[in-house]
């Protein structure tokens, strides 16, 4: 779904798309009418929807999207991974009217600890891939591993959850080079806002009133990379 992101706030995806996940109630930014966010249902009622056309492709095209995100790697675990899968499936079925199954496909990363605990997110996924156990640098925070799996599984997008690799600007940058969508902010945005100190300096640079701290007066010179 080219116009989505993983946050419950309106954050653009790294490919420049402009809509958001608001819980399980996604709407295009600036759109106050829920019915405008059901283009497939509207077009079908007008007789413009061709039943032979793929519903997800039709939906994305109708919304002015650039790319259908059909196969998604969940590069996280626990509640974050479970809620993301349930939210996206519920959105596809109840909000976008795309049907109850088969529209979106989720591949989850799972450590041996997750498998042994019979974690919900593994059972919710269409497929899981076992990854090394131990510290998250071995699995969910390992950018190279995530990109390798994304490529081998031929996914359209990667959803990073929160924590782990979700705050590492290398991940969206590397996925962009591979032609895979990162569901979240771009690498430059993440590099300056994903770090509290850098974000504070950026705020000062923009003239935003800030609480006094040891970095008072520091200013940033931004480049295209952050």
The answer, yes or no, to whether residue 35 has pLDDT greater than 50, is: no
* Token pair in block for residue 156: 């359209």
In the 3-class helix/strand/coil scheme, how is 67-136 assigned residue by residue? CCCCEEEECCCHHHHHHHHHHHHHHHHHHCCCCCCCCCEEEEEECHHHHHCCCHHHHHCCEEEECCCCCH
3-state secondary structure of 113: helix
Range scoring the smallest mean pLDDT among 16-25, 29-38, 172-181, 195-204: 16-25
| Structural contact between residues 114 and 145, judged by C-beta atoms closer than 8 angstroms | no
Does residue 55 register a pLDDT over 70?
A: yes
- The whole-angstrom separation of Cα 136 and Cα 194 is 18
Taking only the tens place, the pLDDT of each residue in 106-116 is: 999 999 999 99
Q: Please tell me whether residue 50 adopts helix, strand or coil conformation.
A: coil
At 36 the pLDDT is 42
Helix (H, G, I), strand (E, B) or coil at 127: strand
With a cut of 80, say whether residue 15 has pLDDT above it. Answer: no
* pLDDT value, residue 223: 81
Q: What would the pLDDT profile of 117-135 be if each residue is shown by its tens digit? A: 999 999 999 999 999 999 9
CA distance 181 to 128: 20
Q: Which residues pair with 181 in a beta bridge?
A: 157
Q: Give residue 94's pLDDT.
A: 84
Q: What is the pLDDT of residue 37?
A: 40
Give the torsion through C-alpha atoms of 108, 78, 160, 134, to 10 deg.
-80
């Amino acid at each position: 779904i080219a116009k989505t992101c993983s946050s419950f706030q309106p954050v653009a995806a790294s490919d420049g798309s402009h809509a958001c996940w608001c819980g399980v109630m996604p709407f295009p930014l600036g759109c106050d009418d829920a019915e405008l966010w059901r283009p497939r249902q509207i077009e079908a009622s007008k007789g413009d929807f061709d039943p032979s056309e793929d519903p997800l492709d039709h939906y994305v095209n109708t919304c002015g999207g650039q790319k259908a995100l059909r196969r998604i790697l969940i590069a996280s675990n626990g509640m974050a991974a479970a809620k993301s899968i349930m939210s996206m499936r519920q959105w596809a079925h109840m909000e976008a009217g795309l049907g109850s199954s088969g529209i979106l496909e989720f591949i989850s990363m799972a450590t041996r600890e997750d498998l042994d605990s019979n974690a919900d997110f593994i059972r919710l996924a269409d497929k899981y891939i076992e990854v090394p156990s131990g510290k998250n640098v071995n699995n969910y925070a390992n950018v190279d591993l995530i990109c390798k799996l994304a490529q081998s599984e031929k996914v359209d997008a990667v959803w990073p959850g929160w924590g782990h690799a979700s705050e590492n600007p290398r991940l969206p940058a590397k996925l962009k080079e591979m032609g895979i969508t990162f569901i979240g902010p771009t690498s430059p945005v993440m590099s300056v806002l994903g770090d509290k100190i850098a974000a504070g300096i950026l705020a000062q640079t923009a003239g935003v009133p800030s609480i006094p701290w040891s970095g008072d007066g520091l200013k940033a010179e931004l480049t295209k990379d952050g």
